[in-house]
Each structure stands twice: as structure tokens, then as C-alpha cells.
């Protein structure tokens, strides 16, 4: 399947290393490899902990293939930054959605689902359903 039809996924963390590692793990565990466009957006431009609207917007532009972009975040201010970008209306690609999901499990579910060619609603639903994954 061509990645031209796949939903893109942006992983926003306060840490560049965490965002990159979760992206790598989600792609590796899903078997999707490089077919699903996934971009980490972690930390600040100067390499500090935090979030950056500019890094998030750039990551979203990188993964946008016209099928929508799912954005998953780690903690509070990452959510607020993405919500502010969505409210501005022109900073993120059209059809970008903030997904309420656990960061790691949601990322894996999103990448696996996107790799099937599912639409943005299905990718978001799969990621959100990861809240129900029980470990005991």
C-alpha cells in the first residue's frame, strides 16, 4: 500500500529522546516499518525539555499525506500546545486531530491501524481504545 493514502502520526513529548524512541518502537512493533509516516516532535529547538509549537507544526507537515494527521501527546502542556495550534487554524495541516490516548500504547495502536489504510477516525479510535489495555 502506498504511504500516500496513510494517516500520518505525530508523537509529541517533552523529551526529544522519548518522542523518537516511542516512534521507533511503535513502527518496529507494528511491523509497519517506514510505510506509516510517523514523526517525533519532542523537546524544544534548543534541546531542552518542553514542547515547541514550531517542532510540532514541522512534524505534522512532514507526515501529512492528505489522509489526516493524528497527534498523540505525553503530558499536560504538550496537550495545551497542540490545542493552541489547532485553535489558530493555519499552523497544522487540514484534518489534524489531537487524540486522547496513552502515549506508548496509543502510538503502537495508531501505527498498526494506519498501516492497514484505515481513515483518521479509525486510527484515533484505535489509539484511544489503548486505554483499555490491561496488564493484569
pLDDT at 1 over 60: no
Any idea what the CATH number is for the domain that residue 42 is in? 3.40.50.510
Cell of 92: 497544522
**Per-position b or e across 10-29, b if 16+ CB within 10 A of its CB:** bbbbbbbebbbbbbeebbee
Structural domains in the chain (count): 1
Domain of 43 in residue numbering reads as 3-132
Mean pLDDT (the chain, rounded):
93
pLDDT at 132 over 60: yes
User: What's the pTM?
Assistant: 0.93
Amino acid at each position: 500500500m502506498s504511504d500516500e493514502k496513510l494517516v500520518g502520526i505525530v508523537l509529541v513529548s517533552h523529551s526529544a529522546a522519548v518522542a523518537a524512541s516511542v516512534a521507533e518502537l511503535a513502527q518496529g512493533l507494528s511491523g509497519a516499518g517506514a510505510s506509516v509516516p510517523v514523526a517525533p516532535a519532542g523537546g524544544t529547538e534548543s534541546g531542552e525539555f518542553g514542547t515547541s509549537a514550531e517542532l510540532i507544526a514541522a512534524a505534522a507537515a512532514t507526515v501529512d499525506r492528505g489522509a489526516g494527521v493524528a497527534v498523540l501527546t505525553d503530558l499536560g502542556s504538550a496537550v495545551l500546545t497542540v490545542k493552541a495550534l489547532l485553535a489558530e487554524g493555519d499552523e497544522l495541516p487540514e484534518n489534524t486531530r489531537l487524540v486522547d490516548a496513552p502515549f506508548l500504547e496509543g502510538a503502537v495502536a495508531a501505527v498498526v491501524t494506519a498501516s492497514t489504510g484505515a481513515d483518521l477516525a479509525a486510527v484515533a479510535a484505535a489509539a484511544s481504545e489503548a486505554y483499555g489495555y490491561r496488564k493484569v
